[in-house]
Amino acid sequence: MNEKYFKNKNAVITGAASGIGRSLALELAKMGTNLVISDINLERLENVKEEVEAYKVKVVSKKCDVSKKSDVKSLRDLTLSNMQDVHFLFSNAGIAAGGHLESFSNEIWRNVINVNIWGMINLVYAFIPKMVEQGFGHIIVTSSIAGIIGAGGLIPYSTSKFANFGFCEALYGEFKDKGIDVSIICPFPIKTNLIETAKISFSPELLNKYSQEQLAKAFEIGKEHYWNEFTKGGYELERAIHIYLKKIAKKKLYISERKIARFLFFIKGLWPNFYKKLVRKVGAEHINVLDESTQTAIDFIENI
């Protein structure tokens, strides 16, 4: 890994209390990067701050809901009062939502769009003037493989991740000549705790059939089954993070821990009929996992 690219630099990371964000913070701290870390979960964030401080770098933490422009502005002001320059902006905070299309409420759609799309936009608008002023910077957005290939059963999430792609490509086209690099991280399912905040939607019929108490218990059982199946064969988080940082240091626009991501770009344009079959296959397999998870939840309720 090119440690020189990160050593004695300053980075802002959102969604840093767990998962990819936490691992990015720790790996960057090991290489001597000063950090401003944020998350909506302040208790976990402070635990990460303590872990980072062991590496003797400067670290500042702040609770931040990226969907709120005022929170992001406060994060920027805190950053600029503690760091002379902003070298890296990691727009990493995000939420997921899985289920059949008809099960998604408007509230779920709004939450996914507000965090995954508006959160990214709010961050870039807040920090890019500073990067333009200093003449350098690197913006890194955590998207998903679901932003490369549409995933049935993840329609709100996939929609938001495609938006990440379009925004970042256009951003690169407009700001690269101003000294600002852009990278899009496209993780395959990897073993993180994203499922803790994920919205898994059950059908209205199921919601009306059981009590809230029964559903709450069953929901956790169903989510656990879903996540175990969804991440089966996925990379361990630490391995994926090393790959991401290595490619960030090389200023890659598209970043994934799997070579198949590049293959998906290739076949989409060259073999469109094969690609359509693949989209159907991916959607069917994911819907099957969701339905199995729902059945696992139902079995749990009925056996109480």
Catalytic amino acids? 157
Residues 6+ apart with CB under 8 A from 297: 202, 218, 219, 221, 222, 225
C-alpha torsion 43→47→53→58, nearest 10: -30
State the Cα–Cα distance between residues 274 and 123, nearest whole angstrom.
Answer: 37
E-only strand ranges, the chain: 10-13, 34-39, 59-63, 88-91, 97-98, 137-142, 180-185, 199-200, 254-255
275-300 as b/e, with b when 16 or more CB fall inside 10 Å?
beeebeebbeebbebbeebbebbbeb
Tokens of 34: 């000063």
290, 99 contact by CB (below 8 A): yes
Residue 101: how many CB atoms within 10 A of its CB?
A: 10
Nearest to 118 by CA among 173, 79, 163, 180: 163
Token code pair at residue 249 = 């240091």
